[in-house]
Structure 1
Amino acid sequence: MLPLVGAAFGLALLFVVSAYAIARIDAIDGRRALLVGVALLAVGGALAVTVPAGPDAPAADGGAEATTNASERPAPAVERQAAEPLTAAASANATATTATVVSVASGDRLTYRTASGTSRTVRLAGVDAPGVGGAAPERFDGVVTGSRGRTCLADHGRQGLLSLRTGLVGESVTVAAVERGPTGLTAVLRADGRSINRRVVERGYARATDGRYADAERAARSATRGVWSCGVVTNDRPLRESNITGVRIAAVRPNPPGDDAASLTEEYVVVENAGRTTVDLSDWHLVDGDGHRYFFFDGRELRPGERVVLHVGAGRNREGHLYWGATTPVLDNDNETLRLVDGDTDRVVRFAY
């Protein structure tokens, strides 16, 4: 552009000089010549302004060429910030971002730091884990209620926390999405290509709060892993010396998932022979906390190490499984004292939860 401007002004100056020379030679009025020169200067300036811009100049009206150049330039700082998880919107999914886990507060809450230095504390989306102090058993359908259930959940809450700390602190993760919900920020995280959210549910350290990980919860329930083992009360105490026969209540499941009245066959008591000799159970019966007596064992023997499951609901008896045929739930969900009574000797074996 500059060479063209110079040429235009040079041309105007040439006209001025020529006009001055003509005025001297032909005795033309010098003032007229001066006016001609000024006019020529104005024309030259106008020509300079209207000369088309060179190929390196940006288009003045922001046309296609300007758009193309802008797309080739690096994104401005504001755009780079928006590409990180959680935009300024109240709820947003974000482009996957790599981050480093810096701390873990519980089995479903942690803090990570992105490459840009941004730290963020989030809960795992679609997941609910008990804390180290336990949780309300009612949040985990099928878990024994009351203090026993809370204590059991606290134990698995500590295990879940330790698992995340051991496996994730200092490790790189991918933040697939961050969402803002009623309880704060939640995130979907991946490590080595696998969902961390799904993994904690699969291992039984948490329950699924939506359909994303419902299948993982079903698998953990079926295997009674983690928190789902809190639905079965087990007897891990050694045999008493007075328990000569070795017959005892080995486990109880008082609170099956869902409506107890609709899951009577999933409510059960497990009777075990922990002794060394076969026991004839024909005259044995079970007494619940309300004093009701139940007789199941006509002509049945229990060999050493053998177990029989007594289902509350109705069903067809088969090897290792007997059915009470009750039409309503029998076992309390929070606490109960059960007694196995030997009708021949009146010897009593108790189990409380």
Structure 2
Amino acid sequence: MRRLPLVALLALTVVLAGCGGFTVPAEQTPTERATAAQSPAERTVADTEGETAVGAPSAGPLPEDRTRVTVTAVVDGDTIRVRYGNGTEDTVRLVGVDTPEVNAENDPAEFEGIPPTAAGSECLRGAGIDASNFAKRHLLGETVEIAFDPATERRGYYDRLLAYVVVDDRLFNYRLVTTGHARVYDESPFTRKDRFLEAESAAREARLGLWQCVDPDSVDRSTPTATASESGLVVAGIHADAEGNDNENLNGEYVVFANRGDDPISLSGWTVTDGAGHRYTFGDYALAPGERVTLYTGSGSDTQRERYWGASGAVWNNGGDTITVRDAGGTVVLERSY
């Protein structure tokens, strides 16, 4: 398999940005443009949202025989739960890809070039959290299509479906690889393996996503916890893993905020977001010194001590996530990762 040098990859970015396959978006925010100008050592693993490997081939034509489903849960970057139109549900393992684990130890030996050290394993866990958030952002709650590969068994371990996921007329499995969120799982046969392996090679050459873990010490995973306004607001508790199925027990998932300052905090218009961009906005509300408020994911009647997000599905990633609070003007007041 031929690899393009990194210099050549960078030089071809403009030419190939409009070619087939998954490409860099035509419109970029100032933050995205600044990120693209940084070297891999200056980026965090999470900074590769939407950035695709230059030089990768297209994913090929979309599968013709596809079934429409709704994504009800994202287990991790490569496993989702879906509901069919008749109400039945199933678990889908995305064929051809393997994202780093978030709820178990990672073996760096499975990811070419990543050192078999504690730092390599920890870096992969961070990349796994990023992959889960990436999948939540693009799949959770969405109507997508699933399709099978003629060279792959329809079900694998744990009786999970092995399938491609098509969303926005793109093959999401392939997008995970070309953005560096997944390696190619080539232990099993599938017809698009050569395309996937070439895309993985391009992502690895460009040090996208998990491939930054080749040099884990260069990846900055630090998260500021100080408040910009010194408001006194803190995250006093996190319960991300509800009993049973998170999506069926939304109020078993919650975050507790506390005011540890000396003055009341007006939270009116303040927002709470997760790593995938789900947003809750406080209405007319203030938190007195020493008081706590629990923000439940599901629905209920708001009180002084309890607030309800009203989300239709689970918000907080069981394997790790980032809680960000912004004031009414959009300034980050508090950020906490777990």
Structure whose alpha-carbon radius of gyration is higher: 1
Name the structure where helix makes up a greater proportion of residues: 1
TM (normalized to structure 1)?
0.39
- TM-score (normalizing by structure 2): 0.40
Q: Which structure would you say has the larger RCO, counting Cα contacts within 8 Å and 6 or more residues apart?
A: 2
